[in-house]
Each structure stands twice: as structure tokens, then as C-alpha cells.
């Protein structure tokens, strides 16, 4: 093993450079440079950091100085280390880490030796963002004074001022505004700095921003006001102050969400109580008909649900698509809310406008504990929706294998058909749920069953491009040349959908390329009509 590799890995594993001779890295600098250029991963530890990252994160300027001074004859590797990013999602430089930690001396040293003061991480955040988010005021000040752009935006359009306001760093907010930050700047989502401060629950920042010209009734791109943000953040003092200074307690966002909806969904009971006591409508609905109680149930906020019901919220109210509060709780897997609602009058077998029960909702989202509790308390395991789909269809279609298994073991019919004759196996095959397909067949599902229009499970898998399901079905007895009622084979289905790999595999395993449907068309004809050139070319060669 190269000495340079040993030295560098020793550093990365936590050994202090002071324990080594002063000229160690200098002697092996060229080797380290070659190592860096040929295989950079060897200069990262298991956390994805170089020694420079580690030293910067810990604020150890002595190690930073020693490491880079020892390599002063090797400018390429020094520059590479300064530019190197962590291997995780954010891909931050050593300068980011030093700034986030508030280590001004390390920040200064890195910048003075060539680190870019405006470098961005993977999500577009600069070093200035890192310092501002954590309230490192001296670092913020120094960076701005040394060329950092005070109005630079991250990938989501947030400025350093957004970050400082969200964290509640009033000193930093004030200093940034005094040095050119735009107080009314908006992110890509249309959120102002005031939105950020309110969301963070920072009353002093909110007050200062409003006193210096921030608009208290400004709306984001989706129509949410600063009061919405405050309600979501759950700081009652901010909510009260905003209302006292002109915010409308009944204002709605573009989708009809009130401030009360926002507070209830986030589980901020004290805000919910205060808003209702100050005129908010407890039964108000969003554009799609969801009440405040729907959102509280979605959020799993039992205390809010209980308080709302005790103060007049309708437990059986339905949204525009006919979903009750119980549907909402079951979808999100909030078992305690489901139990409480049923115990307080919610109908366990209630259906939406589509005929889906609460059990359908729980099964689709994979909430096994809710499914079990509902069945144990009277929910019908074989109930059908308006189109004849059972709960088992829903679970298979959404890929919820554990629920499929439990339902079958508790009486669900594995070969039940929907109104169009599709079985649970059709649903699983369409969605590429190979493990569910296999389990269903092993537990009695008919691999050659047909829907009302004569399509087999193999037709469904081929049409939807589920190659592994196609392969498994054929290997387990599915007829590769079976025809639907309109005379189309599985190759017809794959060809018209443009699934070349499936067409090739089927043909190689005995599918008839010259089979015709009731209109006399071959798979080639359908591929030509749909302009699938590669399939057309392949089928012509196979004729």
C-alpha cells in the first residue's frame, strides 16, 4: 500500500497530524495528488468527508493550516481539497461546514487560501446560507464584507434573509437588511421573508419586518398568507399579533384553505382554539369540500379532532368526493383517530361517491393495523366499490403485499372479479407487483382467467410493459397465444403500447407474429399505426 494512502487514511480515521513529522505530507504530496486524481474516493472517510472537511467541521484551524501548508508545493491537490464536496446529498465544501459551525478563523483561512466565498451546495445554498441559518452573525458579516452575495438565492429561491428569519436570528436579519437584503423578496413558491419568520414562530423578527415595511397580508403563489404560515408553525403569539395588526382570520388560500385548516392539520390545538374563539368557522370547507376536521384527522391529531367534535364539528361530514373524516384518518394510518371516530358515531362501512369504504382507503395506503382493526370491528372484507373492486383489488393494485396476504387469510376471495371482470391478479399484474402476482397464484388465483372482454392477466402485464411479470406468468402456465374477445394476442397488446423488450421475449417464446385480430390486423399493423419504428422493424424481420 502506498505510504501516501496510509497517511491520508490515518488522518481520516481520526489520528492527529501533530503526531506525525512536519514534512510527512510534503514528502508524499505528489503521491497524494496522483491518488486524488486517479481514485478520489480514497481521500474520503466513511461519512463522505476529506480531512479538510473534518477539520473545518470541528473548527480546528491548526489542523487545516498544517494540512494545507504541508501541501503548499502541490497547488492542484490544495485546490481540489478546497473544491471537494461531501459525498452525501448536500455535497458541501469545507467552507460550508466551517461557516455552519461558526468557526470564523477557519472560514477566514480557507477563503484567504482560495476557497470560493459564493460556492453552492447541491441544493443551491451558499456558505452565507449555512452561516445565517445557524445564527453565526460574525461569519455572516465577514462573508458579506469579503464578497458574498447578500441576495443570492438557493435552488428553491430562498435568500439568506429567508434562512435567518426562519431561524429567528433577529440580529442577522437586521444586519442583512441594513446591508442590502430585500425585505420583500420572494422564494420560488412566492413566500416572503415574513412568511419564513411566521412559520418559524419568531415574533420579534415578525414585528421588526412589519415595522420595516413587510406586507402583513402578502400571499404566496398558492394564496397562503403570513397568518397561514404562523398557524402552521404553531406559535400562538405570532398568530395573535398578526390578527391584531390586520391579518384576516378567515382568509382563504387558492384551494380554499383557511388558517384554521392549517392549524388543525399541523396539530396546533392552542391556535385552533384561539381561532375558533375569535370567529373562525369550525365547519368551513376547502374547495374540495374537506373540513377542518378532515385535515385534523389526516394529520393524526387526536386532541384537535376531539376538541373540534366537542365544539360542534360534524363527525360524519363528507368532502366533495364523498369521503368522510374516517376515510381521511384511515388513509393516513392514524389508528387512534380511527378508533375514536368510530367510538363517537362514525359509520365504519360508509362509502364515498365512488363506493369506496374506509377499508378500501386503509388498504390502498398500506395501513395494516387500521385494516385489521376495521375488520375486527365490523368492516366487510368483501365489500365492493361502484366499479366492483374489492378491498383486495385495491391492496393489490397499490402493491400492499402484507395487506393482500392478511385479507386472503381472513376471507377475501382471491378470484373475485370487478364489474369489468378483472380479478385481483389483473390488478397486481398491471402495476408490476411481481411478488403479489406470485403469491396470489400460489394461493389459488387462476393464471389464465379472463376479464369480460377476454383479456388475460398476461394481456394486462404486456400492455402495461411489466416485463418481469410477463416472463413469470408464461413460465407458470400462461398461454402466450391466447386471444381476447377482439382477437388480440398478448403480442398485439405489447406492440401497440410500444413495449419492444416484451414483444421480443414473447416472440422468442412462441408467440405468433402473424396472428390477426377481428379486424384482420397483425401486431405489425398495430405497431405501424402507432409509429413504433423499432417494433415495426423487428416484427418485419420475424415474418
Q: How confident is the model at residue 4 (pLDDT cuts 50, 70, 90)?
A: very low
Residue 36 or residue 332, greater confidence? 332
**Which of 102-111, 178-187, 381-390, 413-422 is predicted least confidently?**
102-111
Cell of 502: 416484451
What is the band of 1 on the pLDDT scale with cuts at 50, 70, 90?
very low
**pLDDT at residue 62 in the model:** 57
pLDDT by residue (tens digit) across 465-494? 998 999 999 999 999 999 999 999 999 999
Q: Assign domain 1-117 to a CATH class.
A: mainly alpha
Residues 99, 107 contacting (CB under 8 angstroms): yes
**Would you state the pLDDT for residue 19?**
46
Q: What is the mean pLDDT of residues 384-402?
A: 95
Span 29-42, mean pLDDT?
A: 52
pLDDT digits over 273-296, tens only? 999 999 999 999 999 999 999 999
Measure CA 37 to chain center. 35
> In this predicted structure, what is the pLDDT of residue 75?
61
Residue 115, pLDDT score = 85
Q: Could you count the other beta carbons within 10 Å of the beta carbon of residue 441?
A: 20
Q: Which of the pair, 543 or 497, is modelled with greater confidence?
A: 497
Which of the two residues, 153 and 82, has the higher pLDDT score? 153
**Bridge-partner residues for 285, per DSSP?**
291
Once rounded to an integer, what is the mean pLDDT over residues 511-515? 96
Neighbours of 505 (CB within 10 A): 18
Check residues 82 and 232 and name the one with the higher pLDDT: 232
> Which of these ranges, 55-69, 158-172, 410-424, 477-491, has the smallest mean pLDDT?
55-69
Distance CA 29, CA 432 (A): 53
Region 103-109: mean pLDDT is: 86
pLDDT at residue 17 is higher than 70: no
Indicate the range of 185-194, 258-267, 286-295, 422-431 predicted with least confidence: 422-431
Where residue 32 falls among pLDDT bands split at 50, 70, 90? low
Q: Is residue 109's pLDDT more than 90?
A: no
Residue 278 CA to residue 260 CA, distance in Å, equals 11
Predicted TM-score of the model (pTM): 0.80
- What single DSSP character describes residue 48? S
Residue 430 has pLDDT above 50, yes or no: yes
The arithmetic mean of pLDDT across residues 6-32, rounded, is: 51
When pLDDT is cut at 50, 70 and 90, the band that residue 89 belongs to is: low
pLDDT digits (tens, 9 = 90+) for 118-145: 988 877 889 999 898 888 889 999 999 9
pLDDT number for residue 92: 75
What's the pLDDT at 433? 84
Q: Do domains 1-117 and 453-543 have the same CATH topology?
A: yes
**Residues in a beta bridge with 301:** none
Q: Which pLDDT belongs to residue 16?
A: 42
pLDDT tens, 222-263?
999 999 999 999 999 999 999 999 999 999 999 999 999 999
State the pLDDT confidence band at 406, using cuts at 50, 70 and 90.
Answer: very high
Number of other residues whose CB lies within 10 A of the CB of residue 376: 9
Domain boundaries, the chain: 1-117, 453-543
Q: Which long-range contacts (CB under 8 A, 24 or more apart) does 16-20 make?
A: 16/63, 17/63, 17/66, 17/67, 17/70, 18/62, 18/66
Question: Residue 70: is its pLDDT beyond 60?
Answer: no
Between 504 and 32, the more confident residue is 504
Which range of 69-83, 103-117, 225-239, 453-467 scores highest in mean pLDDT? It is 225-239
CATH class of residue range 453-543: mainly alpha
- Partners of 192 in beta bridges: 186
pLDDT at 90: 59
pLDDT value, residue 77? 53
Select from 244, 242, 241, 292 the least CA-distant residue to 268. 292
Model confidence at 391, pLDDT cuts 50, 70, 90, reads very high
Reply yes or no on whether the pLDDT at 511 is more than 70: yes
Q: Which 3-state string (H, E, C) describes 61-92?
A: HHHHHHHHHHCCCCHHHHHHHHHCCCCCCCCC
Q: Is the pLDDT of residue 87 over 80?
A: no
pLDDT of residue 373 exceeding 70: yes
Amino acid at each position: 500500500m502506498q505510504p501516501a494512502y496510509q497517511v491520508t487514511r490515518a488522518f481520516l480515521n481520526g489520528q492527529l497530524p501533530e503526531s506525525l513529522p512536519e514534512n510527512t505530507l510534503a514528502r508524499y504530496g505528489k503521491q497524494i495528488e496522483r491518488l486524488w486524481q486517479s481514485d478520489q474516493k480514497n481521500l474520503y472517510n466513511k461519512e463522505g468527508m476529506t480531512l479538510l472537511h473534518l477539520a473545518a467541521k470541528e473548527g480546528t484551524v491548526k489542523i487545516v493550516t498544517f494540512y494545507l501548508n504541508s501541501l503548499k508545493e502541490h497547488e492542484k491537490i490544495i485546490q481540489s481539497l478546497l473544491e471537494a464536496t461531501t459525498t452525501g446529498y448536500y455535497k458541501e465544501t469545507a467552507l460550508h461546514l466551517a461557516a455552519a459551525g461558526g468557526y470564523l478563523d477557519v472560514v477566514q483561512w480557507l477563503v484567504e487560501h482560495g476557497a470560493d466565498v459564493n460556492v453552492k451546495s447541491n441544493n443551491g445554498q451558499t456558505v452565507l446560507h449555512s452561516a445565517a441559518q445557524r445564527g453565526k452573525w460574525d461569519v455572516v458579516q465577514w462573508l458579506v464584507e469579503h464578497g458574498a452575495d447578500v441576495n443570492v438565492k438557493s435552488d428553491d429561491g430562498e435568500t439568506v434573509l429567508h434562512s435567518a428569519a426562519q431561524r429567528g436570528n433577529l440580529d442577522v436579519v437586521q444586519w442583512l437588511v441594513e446591508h442590502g437584503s430585500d425585505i420583500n423578496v420572494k422564494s420560488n413558491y412566492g413566500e416572503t421573508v415574513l412568511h419564513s419568520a411566521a412559520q418559524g414562530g419568531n415574533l420579534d423578527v415578525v414585528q421588526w419586518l412589519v415595522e420595516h415595511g413587510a406586507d402583513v397580508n402578502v400571499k404566496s403563489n398558492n394564496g397562503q398568507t403570513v397568518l397561514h404560515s404562523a398557524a402552521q408553525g404553531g406559535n400562538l403569539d405570532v398568530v395573535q399579533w398578526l390578527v391584531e395588526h390586520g391579518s384576516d382570520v378567515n382568509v382563504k388560500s387558492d384551494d380554499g384553505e383557511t388558517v384554521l385548516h392549517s392549524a388543525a392539520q399541523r396539530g396546533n390545538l392552542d391556535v385552533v382554539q384561539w381561532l375558533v374563539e375569535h370567529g373562525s368557522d369550525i365547519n368551513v370547507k376547502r374547495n374540495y369540500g374537506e373540513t377542518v376536521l378532515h385535515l385534523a384527522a389526516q394529520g393524526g391529531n387526536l386532541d384537535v379532532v376531539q376538541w373540534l367534535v366537542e365544539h360542534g364539528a360534524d363527525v360524519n361530514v363528507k368532502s366533495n368526493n364523498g369521503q368522510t373524516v374516517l376515510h381521511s384518518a384511515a388513509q393516513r394510518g392514524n389508528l387512534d383517530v380511527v378508533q375514536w371516530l368510530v367510538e363517537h358515531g362514525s359509520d365504519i362501512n360508509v362509502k364515498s361517491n365512488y363506493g369506496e369504504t374506509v377499508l378500501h382507503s386503509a388498504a390502498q395506503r398500506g395501513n395494516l393495523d387500521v385494516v385489521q382493526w376495521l375488520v375486527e370491528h365490523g368492516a366487510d372484507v368483501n365489500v365492493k366499490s361502484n366499479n366492483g373492486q374489492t378491498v383486495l383489488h385495491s391492496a393489490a393494485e397499490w402493491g400492499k403485499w402484507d395487506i393482500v396476504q392478511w385479507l386472503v387469510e381472513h376471507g377475501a376471495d382471491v378470484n373475485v372479479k370487478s364489474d369489468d371482470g378483472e380479478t385481483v391478479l389483473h390488478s397486481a399484474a398491471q402495476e408490476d407487483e411481481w411478488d403479489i402476482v406470485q403469491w396470489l397464484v400460489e394461493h389459488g388465483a387462476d393464471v389464465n382467467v379472463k376479464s369480460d372482454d377476454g383479456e388475460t392477466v398476461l394481456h394486462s402485464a404486456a400492455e402495461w410493459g411489466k416485463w418481469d411479470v410477463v416472463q413469470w406468468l408464461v413460465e407458470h402456465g400462461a398461454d402466450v397465444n391466447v386471444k381476447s374477445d377482439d382477437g388480440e394476442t398478448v403480442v398485439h397488446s405489447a406492440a401497440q403500447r410500444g413495449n419492444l423488450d416484451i414483444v421480443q421475449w414473447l416472440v422468442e417464446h412462441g408467440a405468433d407474429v402473424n396472428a390477426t385480430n377481428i379486424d384482420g390486423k397483425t401486431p405489425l399493423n398495430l405497431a405501424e399505426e402507432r409509429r413504433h419504428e423499432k417494433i415495426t422493424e423487428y416484427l418485419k424481420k420475424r415474418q
